[in-house]
Structure 1
Amino acid sequence: MATTKWTIDPTHSEIGFKVKHMMFTNVSGKFLTYDANIITEGDDFTKSTIEFSADINSVDTRNADRDNHLKSPDFFDAENHPTMTFKTSSFTKASGENYEIAGDLSLRGITKFVKLPVEFSGLMTDPWGNTKAGFTINGKINRKDWGLNWNSALEAGGVLVGEEVKLEIELQFVKQ
């Protein structure tokens, strides 16, 4: 079967995350610069290779001081580790439009195997004749697994930054 290449449509995609702040509210952010490609057999995403990368220096939480702290050695250490990457080992159907993606997430010089739930929105042809594929990923990871350990104790108890990071990713790909 012929292979098909899919490239990310950055104007219709977003790589977002949320982390608990002071143990009771979420702070959200996103990466503004990223790239992803999928190679499939025909239009079958269960037979695919997916590669993703994000520029750590593009992190945006709508607060310059916080963004600079995230880029520092306390968190991402962007100077020494400027890129986050993900490469799949599997993309399996669970039921209906629900899938699971598994692979290696590399961040801050550490690579860990992760599994994330994926909702496949299907294929659509846009008004200009381009075939698009849509995906939503809403998973969770523990930031400490990648050495993002910085925190500050709160006077009332607890910590300033939660360990669990909620991923909120919307992806649209264009068939090449």
Structure 2
Amino acid sequence: MATTKWSIDPTHSEIQFKVKHLMITTVTGYFAKFNLEVETEGDDFTKANKVVFTADVDSINTNNEQRDTHLKSADFFDADNHEQVRFEGKDFEKVSDEEYKLHGDLTIRGTTKPVTVKVEFGGIVVDPYGQTKAGFTVDGKINRKDYGLTWSAVTEAGSIVVSDEIKLHAEIQLVKQA
């Protein structure tokens, strides 16, 4: 069967992360610049032979410039030395008609670890412009310290400032390439 190439539709996709702050609220951030390339056999994503996602660390945005600067610093992502976050999918496992697990390797700050994320397949449609699109919702979580993002602080009252667990959420729309 022929290989089908898919690329991200950045205007209909978003990549977010959520982290507990002071253990009482959740702060949401996102990457404004990212890319995703997928190759499948036909339109069957369970037979994907390439899934490569990258996000530009310098595009991180939490709606707070001071915090964003800190996240880009050597305390966290170290954007000067590690420009991208990278995920390479290895296996797209079907759990049910709409639910899948994507297993792969996530690289942050030069450290690569295996990760499994839950994927909800929204389906494949042809848009009003004749483009074939596929939609996915992706959820997962990682421990930031596993990737060398170890900065931590404790308040005077003993509360942790930033949790170790980071929740990942993405809304992905892919466009089939001609």
TM-score bin (small chain): over 0.9
Match in the other structure for 1:33 = 33
Cα distance in 1 between the residues matched to 2:97 and 2:47 = 17
Cα distance in 1 between the residues matched to 2:47 and 2:101 = 13
Cα shift at 1:114: 0.4
Cα distance in 2 between the residues matched to 1:103 and 1:139 = 12
Cα shift at 1:2: 0.3
Is 1:127 the counterpart of 2:163 in the alignment?
no
The percentage of counterpart residues that share the same residue type is 57
Q: Secondary structure at the match of 1:68?
A: helix
Match in the other structure for 1:4 = 4
Match in the other structure for 1:109 = 110
Q: Which amino acid aligns with 1:118?
A: V
Q: Secondary structure at the match of 2:128?
A: coil
Cα shift at 1:158: 2.5
Q: Secondary structure at the match of 1:46?
A: helix
Match in the other structure for 2:150 = 149
Cα distance in 1 between the residues matched to 2:60 and 2:78 = 12
Match in the other structure for 2:52 = 51
Match in the other structure for 1:98 = 99
Map Cα deviations across residues 60-115 of structure 1 (whole Å, 9 max, x no partner): 00000000000000000000001111101100100120000010100101000000
Cα shift at 1:3: 0.3
Q: Which amino acid aligns with 2:166?
A: V
Cα distance in 2 between the residues matched to 1:63 and 1:84 = 20
Cα shift at 1:28: 0.4
Q: Which amino acid aligns with 2:150?
A: N
Match in the other structure for 1:14 = 14
Map Cα deviations across residues 37-69 of structure 1 (whole Å, 9 max, x no partner): 100000000110200101000000000000000
For these two proteins, the number of residue pairs brought into alignment is 176
Match in the other structure for 1:23 = 23
Task: In structure 1, list runs of 5 or more residues that go unmatched.
Answer: none
Task: In structure 2, list runs of 5 or more residues that go unmatched.
Answer: none
Cα shift at 1:138: 1.4
User: How high is the TM-score relative to the length of structure 1?
Assistant: 0.99
Cα RMSD of the aligned pairs, angstroms, is 0.6
Cα distance in 2 between the residues matched to 1:140 and 1:112 = 12
Q: Secondary structure at the match of 1:11?
A: helix
Is 1:138 the counterpart of 2:139 in the alignment?
yes
Map Cα deviations across residues 124-143 of structure 1 (whole Å, 9 max, x no partner): 11001100000101111110
Q: Which amino acid aligns with 2:125?
A: M
Q: Which amino acid aligns with 2:146?
A: D
User: How high is the TM-score relative to the length of structure 2?
Assistant: 0.98
